[in-house]
Amino acid sequence: MRDNPVDALTLVYLARLRDAFGASTETIRPPSTVTTVAALREHLAARGGVFAVELAPSRAVRFAVNHEIASPQAIVRPGDEVALFPPVTGG
């Protein structure tokens, strides 16, 4: 998790998001305005295409920052690992 350059975030895509985005991880250097989970979601959705579809406000997506479930207001900092995944259902 902390092996990245200090100004980067590691994104981990799980389940349907891994399939949709065609990758399980990526390292990004978002603009300095991306300081919360909500801002990160908006930043990624602005890429367009499948990112806009999967990260649209109407789509259920959960986030974890450094292995802890995070709210949209949670802070993201350079060096963090942020996982994105659909809610888990069971029966």
Whether 52 and 71 have beta carbons less than 8 Å apart is answered as no
> What are the tens digits of pLDDT across the range 18-44?
999 999 999 999 999 999 999 999 999
Q: Which CATH class is domain 9-85?
A: alpha beta
Every domain of the chain and the residues it spans: 9-85
Name every residue whose Cβ is closer than 8 Å to that of residue 78 and which is 6 or more positions away in sequence: 6, 7, 8, 9
Name every residue whose Cβ is closer than 8 Å to that of residue 4 and which is 6 or more positions away in sequence: 10, 27, 79
| Tokens read off for 8 | 């980067």
Q: How confident is the model at residue 91 (pLDDT cuts 50, 70, 90)?
A: low
Strands (E), 3-50: 9-13, 25-28
First and final C-alpha spacing in the chain: 33
> What are the tens digits of pLDDT across the range 65-79?
999 999 999 999 999
